[in-house]
A and B are shown apart, each in its own frame.
Chain A
Amino acid sequence: DAGVTQSPTHLIKTRGQQVTLRCSPKSGHDTVSWYQQALGQGPQFIFQYYEEEERQRGNFPDRFSGHQFPNYSSELNVNALLLGDSALYLCASSDSSGANVLTFGAGSRLTVL
């Protein structure tokens, strides 16, 4: 049973560019959350998607947007990249009707130059 898969694993962008990160949730999960983890810090909640809508959002600017598809997979888009956006971006999926345990992917490491 595949867990949460994320792509790409690593990528390098320059300031001002845009990036799209992708996530496939664990089989049977219908909710996807995105987290940003800067070096040496804990993950910070960006937003959560359920039934193809953004249901909850953390303290992140509108440059961060997302999407969830009918098959529950999700994308995270970041526009006008800043140096401070360099981080590990983690996707976590969960079942909306269970113990609400998050299953995390291995993350996408974004470096902004």
Chain B
Amino acid sequence: DAKTTQPTSMDCAEGRAANLPCNHSTISGNEYVYWYRQIHSQGPQYIIHGLKNNETNEMASLIITEDRKSSTLILPHATLRDTAVYYCIVRVDYNFNKFYFGSGTKLNVKP
């Protein structure tokens, strides 16, 4: 199973871009990178996913390096409500949606 490595915590000023890195050096060619976040006492919330191309949606952008060994989640204008634990996940089994969650990055957005 491809594992991910993320910093334990990060700080970001409100209104600035938050850039959350993730290392997945053992990723296989057909494994997707997913990002979820978990606000305190809630279930994880899907943010974005991608295979090799950069992706953008209404919540965030996902930048995947050309060798696919790392990626960065970008929240363009962080707000206090973006304070959460962010999980970078590699989907280990295409057919069965078995996701391996690591410990994630606690993002603290400060006023």
Task: Name B46's closest neighbour in chain A (CB-CB).
Answer: A101
Q: Which of B45, B91, B93, B101 is close to A43, meaning CB atoms less than 8 Å apart?
A: B101
Residues of B within 8 A of A45 (CB): 98-100
B91 and A100 within 8 A (CB)? yes
Which residue of B is nearest A48, CB measured? B96
Contact B46 A103 (CB under 8 A): yes
Which of under 10, 10 to 19, 20 to 34, or 35 or more describes the interface residues of B?
20 to 34
* A residues less than 8 Å from B45 (CB atoms): 104
Best-surrounded residue of B36, B44, B91, B102 (most CB of chain A within 10 A): B44
Q: Mark A77-98, 1 if CB is under 8 A from B, else 0.
A: 0000000000000101010000
Known: A90-B44, A99-B49. A42 touches B98 (CB 8 A): no
In the complex the two chains form, is B44's CB within 8 Å of A55's CB?
Answer: no
A33 near B43 with CB under 8 A, answer: no
Please report which residues of chain A, range 12-59, place their CB below 8 angstroms from some CB of chain B when the two chains form the complex: 31, 33, 35, 41-45, 48, 55-56, 58
In the assembled complex, the CB of B8 is this many whole angstroms from the nearest CB of chain A, namely: 11
Nearest Cβ on chain A to B78's Cβ, whole angstroms: 22
Q: Does A107 contact B (CB under 8 A)?
A: yes
Q: Let me know if A4 and B43 touch, CB within 8 A.
A: yes
B44 and A104 within 8 A (CB): yes
